[in-house]
């Protein structure tokens, strides 16, 4: 029998997270949304959430890789990814941009968890659970290669003695790039090619430690939403990293080894990162949507507008129809997200579900926030309330980790059994 009740570990963390969302994040939302302070770090939140994470018994969680640590009790079902999904939803309910400043491996850590060797996971991920707050990030997008990862030009070449990789290239729109690259002892996971003639088989992921010579943050973007989170452009100029810092077996990452084995396992392993991170984006979208819906209903109640449940569709007002659709769509997006996280916890494939929840949540939160502003009229458009900010924050969830169009393509190919070359 399917049980939709929340497990105890999730219920236990909710009280702490609700307190942080409402008492720490909401009061500073406007401060870090201001373009004049958009690149200041929200240490009020970082210190509070770091203390809360330690209180809850974990720190810097990275999706996919924490079940071994959290589920040492064989009688307890694996819950790590579901716990993180609930955590992201609550923190995004507080403020989606500030949530992205949560200490941890983030996308870079998720990539290591998805494609790294056991030794690499232990070496690179352990740092996020103790000491001072640290951050990870992933650098994929380039000026000439947005969603088309096959056209990435950042190059990784072996040094003459074969003991180092040398990275050269430019990355843009790196979420948390400054935090991970120069403000902590974290790292940035960089996608690069070891040989452009090898196509996707030549694509590999490299771990670049913070403050490595040759890696430089060159720009911080000013954005429509999630302004508290830094979005960086990063230049790699003869950036040298250890030979073992390529994800997976480093001996299989050289051009010669790839030619001897034409498998695209390295690229596919890196792409598996998205199976973990897309549900996280969906959870963030649902959190924004839930904050919006809750505020809208409270606003309407103060105006004397009652939402009647159980009334036939033809007798409902236009506002009632919109509210009921918001509730239904947000619940559908949340259930898809939970399923994708549950599959990860069971160590089952979830590529289809990960893209499905990302598509649904990104589309829903965009519509819900825009419709809420529309219903509230000038009150919604005014900065007197946070609802216009939530509308601006919401849109990114339909863009990063693969746009809605990209993920629809993934869903279609997986359902119909087509290859990417057959269905675009």
Which tokens go with 67? 């079940």
CA dihedral 319, 357, 343, 281 (to 10 degrees): -100
Residue 232, phi then psi, degrees to nearest 5? -115, 155
**Which positions ≥6 away from 149 have C-beta within 8 Å?**
140, 191, 203, 271
Backbone angles phi, psi at 252, to 5 degrees: -95, 5
Q: Exposed (0-12), middle (13-18) or buried (19+): which is 371, by Cβ within 10 Å?
A: buried
- Say how far apart CA 222 and CA 230 lie, in whole Å: 9
Per the document, the length of the chain is 424
Task: Tell me, yes or no, if 14 is annotated catalytic.
Answer: no
Catalytic option among 89, 320, 353, 401:
401
List the structure tokens of 253. Answer: 């990452």
With a CB cutoff of 8 Å and minimum separation 6, the contacts of 313 are 321
Exposure b/e, 40-52, CB count within 10 A at least 16 = b = eebeebbebbbeb
Find out whether 299 and 376 touch, Cβ atoms under 8 Å.
yes
**DSSP per residue over 223-252, as a string?**
-SS-TTS-EEEEEEEEEEEEGGGBSS-GGG
Catalytic residue annotation: 401
């Amino acid at each position: 029998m399917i049980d939709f009740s929340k497990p105890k570990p999730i219920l236990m963390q909710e009280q702490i997270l609700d307190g942080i969302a409402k008492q720490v994040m909401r009061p500073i939302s406007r401060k870090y949304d201001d373009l004049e302070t958009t690149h200041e770090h929200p240490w009020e939140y970082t210190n509070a959430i770091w203390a809360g994470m330690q209180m809850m018994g974990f720190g810097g969680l990275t999706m996919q890789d924490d079940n071994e640590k959290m589920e040492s009790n064989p009688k307890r079902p694996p819950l790590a990814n579901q716990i993180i999904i609930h955590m992201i939803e609550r923190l995004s309910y507080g403020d989606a941009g500030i949530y992205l400043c949560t200490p941890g491996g983030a996308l870079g850590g998720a990539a290591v968890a998805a494609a790294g060797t056991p030794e690499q996971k232990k070496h690179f991920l352990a740092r996020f659970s103790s000491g001072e707050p640290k951050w990870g990030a992933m650098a994929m997008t380039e000026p000439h290669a947005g969603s088309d990862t096959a056209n990435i030009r950042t190059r990784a070449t072996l040094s003459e003695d074969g003991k180092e990789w040398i990275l050269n290239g430019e990355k843009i729109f790196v979420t948390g790039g400054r935090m991970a690259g120069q403000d902590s002892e974290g790292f940035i996971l960089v996608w690069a090619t070891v040989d452009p003639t090898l196509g996707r088989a030549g694509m590999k992921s490299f771990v670049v430690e913070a403050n490595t010579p040759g890696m430089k943050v060159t720009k911080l973007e000013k954005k429509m939403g999630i302004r508290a989170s830094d979005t960086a452009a990063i230049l790699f100029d003869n950036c040298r990293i250890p030979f073992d810092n390529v994800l997976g077996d480093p001996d299989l990452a050289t051009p010669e080894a790839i030619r001897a084995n034409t498998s695209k396992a390295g690229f596919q392993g890196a792409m598996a990162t998205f199976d973990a991170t897309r549900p996280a984006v969906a959870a963030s979208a649902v959190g924004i949507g839930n904050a919006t819906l809750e505020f809208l209903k409270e606003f309407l109640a103060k105006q004397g507008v009652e939402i009647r449940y159980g009334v036939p569709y033809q007798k409902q007002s236009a506002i009632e129809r919109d509210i009921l659709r918001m509730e239904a769509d947000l619940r559908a997006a949340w259930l898809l997200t939970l399923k994708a996280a549950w599959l990860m916890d069971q160590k089952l494939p979830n590529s289809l579900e990960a893209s499905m929840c990302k598509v649904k949540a990104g589309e829903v939160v965009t519509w819900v926030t825009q419709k809420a502003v529309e219903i509230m009229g000038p009150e919604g458009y005014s900065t007197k309330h946070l609802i216009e900010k939530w509308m601006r924050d919401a849109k990114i969830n339909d863009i990063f980790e693969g746009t809605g169009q990209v993920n629809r393509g993934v869903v279609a190919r997986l359902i119909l059994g087509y290859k990417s070359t057959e269905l675009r």
